[in-house]
Structure 1
Amino acid sequence: MRGAALLFALALALGPAASTAQTDPTQSARAAMDELQGASAALEAAEGARDRVAALTQTVQAYEKGLAALREGLRQATIRESAIHGVFSAESERLAQLLGVLQSIEAAPESHLLLHPSGPLGTVRSGMILSDVTPALSQEAAQLRRALQEVAMLRALQETAVSTLEEGLQGVQTARTELSKAVANRTDLPRRFVADQAAMENLINSSDTLESFASGLMSTTVEETSVSIAQPDFSEAQGALEMPVLGRVIRRFEEADAAGVRRPGWVVATRPLTLVTTPWPATIRYLGPLLDYGEVAILEPGEGYLLVLSGLGQVFGEVGEVLPRGAPVGLMGGALMSEDQAFLMSSAQGGGAQATESLYIELRRNGTPLDPSTWFVGPEN
């Protein structure tokens, strides 16, 4: 019974590996390391790219996705190792007995194993018992060997992955810095209008809610430029928009928070300094601090529509510019050094830096909030 329990426990610990071709989480972690190597190559290639902003945007996103995948791989590796160690701890006495029997059988001469002190009849009986026990014993030994091999593999993976994490963090830091410089030097974006600074300041000072500011923004007159820009119909994007940031939706449309406050938008938890992009070609209607929302970007993806992105730490561009789809809008807040240190310390234990930043997403049409779930696809929940 004890042997069966040990076999069952080891089977449970090893089961996930067997069910996924013995590659989860090692395969996902190694695939993530390959992604990070690809991001490093893309960073070098971006140096000579014709559109450095687009190339660096893709590079930053590749780094972020690779780092997120590697975090998850390390987390799963730690869970797997803990499960196996838990079996070892719970069955330590049984494992010691098993190892003792295996060592005795291996050390004893084969001829001695076939003899029994009571004579030929005892020898026959012991042989029959041994023939019944040997398969189960061999199965236990095989399970134990596989568990030990997997622990060694997981530890080797974690040691390699932590160094890859450090390189990846350095790479994404460089890519973000280069992207900020490239955006600042960008001069090729068309401009639909020039903002009236005095009117904008009056609107900011007279608005006490995001709703009132957005409504006033739609009615504010602007000085149109002579540039004619054809934009795709935004209504066709319903149900097909990509998320503007890599993160997890933690509060949905009109869902109450801990204080009972309901907001007509999504709150997305994300990690410090994560890149925020526009999911559709859009005109920048406002950039900057607003009320208690932090840095805010308000985009106009179509006539009568406004996309509000608030809670950023840094914003890119100028009011009136028309951004292409997937263009960088800004970066989330957070301290770079604390992010690096927390990430590496927790990653060595199979975790990852926490999603400490929050991006608020609100979509409006003619002043009325729309449920983002009917517009965006594939958010992590």
Structure 2
Amino acid sequence: MIRALALLVAVAVPVMGPASAQDPAAARRAAEAERAAAIRAAEQAQEAATQEARLAAERVAGAARVQQAEREAEDATERVEAARRGAEEARAEQQRLAAEIAPLIPMLMRIATQPAPLLLAAPLSPEEVMLSLGAIRMTLREAREKAALLRESEARATREAVVLMREQRRLAQARAQAEQASVALDAQLIAARQVLAERNAAERQAASRAEAAVRRARSLEEALARLEREQAEEARREAEEAKREAERARQRAAATATAAATSRPVPQPAPRATAEPASGMPVAGQLIREFNAPGEGGPARGLTFAAQPGARVTAPCGGSVAFAAPFRSYGRMVILDCGGGQHLVLAGMDRLDVSGGQRVRAGEPVGVLPGTNRPTLYVELRRRGEAVDPRPWLRAGA
């Protein structure tokens, strides 16, 4: 959009024709009028760029709030699981001790109420009676110790149950906060889509060509190779068009130098955004498969994270969206062109919040994971076509 307005500024400077040569005053007035229109267009471009930057900053901040709430929910989930394991272990210990004591209870109750008749009725010598009394005392001592352990186990089970309930309440609160932050972020994304719907046709066409090239691929590796070729061709086309436009602008400027000599300068539109460094992890979750980890399809070429249901995914880098659509078994997938020959793949989303050709800042939301239990996000980083471990790059921006 900004580049289109910049071209509009250049085109707005008129070429003087025969009528202008016959009427210098009219030519100057026409030149001033069109130059004023160019100034207004450039000012509008600056306002649009300022608005877009403000909205992007709001989306980054909103996504950060959502991911912070999701990290708290993730921590609460781990605490709930730990509390549940503790409660289960306490109950298992309680059941084991109860099972060990159960066979002794009838005999111990009878010995405790009538110890003398049992020993007197038996045809035992005094020495054997003494030995029997010693055995009874040992049995009673063992029973008392196990009973004490059982009481401790029961108390522990009660405490663990209380902890589990408390952590479950905290998890519910964390998820509610994440949901509230997510609703606010969705409102920001709706506003952003209205602005992005006005981007120029050239960017949409370039994005469509890139997406078509990716869709024809049979694998992710082939898709990225096709994408790089398409981007190289697009860069060549843009360079040629810029060269032709620069020559046309030079000719127009030379033809109207006299008429524009007394005019105030035209504000220049803001330059196109450049790629930003990595900003951190794309999702608040737990790493469950590392780069180069073995698997059925061979070593992993990326990282896999498990996260909360419906977790937000953000752009770890600033740049342009080279691809945003479903792709084979990867689900909904985004490929970010992070600059410097780097492409980042984010796959496994249930919803996409960006589209092909869109420029994003580091930290902006790009999509949402499925609402299923422990959904996963696949992250792959390519440098000049080669898969590399994304962790050092991501941690550098954390």
Q: Which bin holds the TM-score, normalised by the shorter protein?
A: 0.5 to 0.7
Partner of 2:382: 364
- CA apart distance, 1:278: 2.5
Structure 1 residues 249 and 129: CA distance shift in structure 2, 3 A: closer
- CA apart distance, 1:99: 7.7
- CA apart distance, 1:323: 0.4
- Contact 1:204 1:213 (C-alpha < 8 Å) held by counterparts: no
Given the alignment of the two structures, is residue 169 of structure 1 paired with residue 175 of structure 2, yes or no? yes
- CA apart distance, 1:261: 5.7
SS at 1:149 equivalent = helix
Structure 1 residues 58 and 375: CA distance shift in structure 2, 3 A: closer
Tell me how far apart the structure 2 counterparts of residues 54 and 102 of structure 1 sit (CA, whole Å).
70
- Contact 1:283 1:321 (C-alpha < 8 Å) held by counterparts: yes
Relative to its length, the structure with more helix (as a share) is: 2
- CA apart distance, 1:289: 0.7
- CA apart distance, 1:265: 2.5
Tell me how far apart the structure 1 counterparts of residues 224 and 57 of structure 2 sit (CA, whole Å).
36
Q: 2:206 aligns with which of 199, 204, 210?
A: 199
Structure 1 residues 226 and 367: CA distance shift in structure 2, 3 A: farther
Partner of 1:284: 320
1:232-277: per-residue Cα shift (whole Å, max 9, x none)? 6x5xx6xx953545233336337443xx366632333444311112
1:280-339: per-residue Cα shift (whole Å, max 9, x none)? x41123352143233222223332211121222222345342403x332221133xxxx4
Number of aligned positions between the proteins:
292
1:238-253 matches, cutoff 5 A: 241-242=280-281, 244-250=283-289, 252-253=291-292
Given the alignment of the two structures, is residue 151 of structure 1 paired with residue 164 of structure 2, yes or no? no
Partner of 2:359: 321
Tell me how far apart the structure 2 counterparts of residues 169 and 252 of structure 1 sit (CA, whole Å).
30
1:184-333 matches, cutoff 5 A: 184-186=190-192, 196-206=203-213, 207-208=216-217, 209-221=222-234, 226-227=270-271, 229=273, 234=277, 241-242=280-281, 244-250=283-289, 252-253=291-292, 255-257=294-296, 260=297, 264-279=301-316, 281-292=317-328, 293-317=330-354, 319-324=357-362, 326-333=363-370
Structure 1 residues 100 and 88: CA distance shift in structure 2, 3 A: farther
Structure 1 residues 94 and 200: CA distance shift in structure 2, 3 A: closer
TM-score (norm 1): 0.59
1:140-178: per-residue Cα shift (whole Å, max 9, x none)? 444322211111122223334444444443332232122
SS at 2:285 equivalent = coil
Provide structure 1 residue ranges, at least 5 long, that are not aligned to the other structure: 1-49, 119-123, 340-352
SS at 1:247 equivalent = strand
SS at 1:175 equivalent = helix
1:73-222 matches, cutoff 5 A: 73-96=79-102, 139-186=145-192, 196-206=203-213, 207-208=216-217, 209-221=222-234
**One-letter amino acid of the structure 1 residue matched with residue 211 of structure 2:** I
1:157-206: per-residue Cα shift (whole Å, max 9, x none)? 3334444444443332232122121133249x99xx96532233233334
Structure 1 residues 244 and 64: CA distance shift in structure 2, 3 A: closer
SS at 1:333 equivalent = coil
1:205-248: per-residue Cα shift (whole Å, max 9, x none)? 3441422343235314366974254666x5xx6xx953545233
- Contact 2:291 2:299 (C-alpha < 8 Å) held by counterparts: no
Q: 1:56 aligns with which of 35, 56, 62?
A: 62
**One-letter amino acid of the structure 1 residue matched with residue 288 of structure 2:** V
Structure 1 residues 85 and 226: CA distance shift in structure 2, 3 A: closer
Tell me how far apart the structure 1 counterparts of residues 208 and 274 of structure 2 sit (CA, whole Å).
29
Tell me how far apart the structure 2 counterparts of residues 321 and 88 of structure 1 sit (CA, whole Å).
60
Tell me how far apart the structure 1 counterparts of residues 343 and 156 of structure 2 sit (CA, whole Å).
52
- Contact 1:183 1:317 (C-alpha < 8 Å) held by counterparts: no
**One-letter amino acid of the structure 2 residue matched with residue 288 of structure 1:** A
- Contact 1:287 1:315 (C-alpha < 8 Å) held by counterparts: no
Tell me how far apart the structure 1 counterparts of residues 57 and 110 of structure 2 sit (CA, whole Å).
70
Tell me how far apart the structure 2 counterparts of residues 286 and 54 of structure 1 sit (CA, whole Å).
20
**One-letter amino acid of the structure 1 residue matched with residue 385 of structure 2:** G
